[in-house]
Amino acid sequence: MKIVLASNNRGKLDELQAMFAPLGVQLVCQGDLFSGEAPEPHCTFVENALSKARFAAEKTGLPAIADDAGLCLDAFGGLPGVDTAYYCTQFGYEKNDANNVQAVLEQLAPHANRKGAMVSTLVGVRHPRDPEPLIAVGRVAVEIAPERRGSGGFGFDPVLLLPALGLTFAQMPPEQKNQFSHRGRSSRQMMELLRTSWLA
CB count in 10 Å sphere of residue 179: 12
Distance CA 117, CA 72 (A): 5
DSSP classification of residue 80: B
By the 8 A CB rule, do 120 and 65 touch?
no
Distance CA 197, CA 57 (A): 17
Q: Which of 68, 83, 97, 157 is catalytic?
A: 68
Is 97 one of the annotated active-site residues of the chain? no
Give the burial string for 115-153 (b: 16+ CB within 10 Å, else e).
ebbbbbbbbbbbeeebeebbbbbbebebbbbeebbbeeb
Active site residues: 68
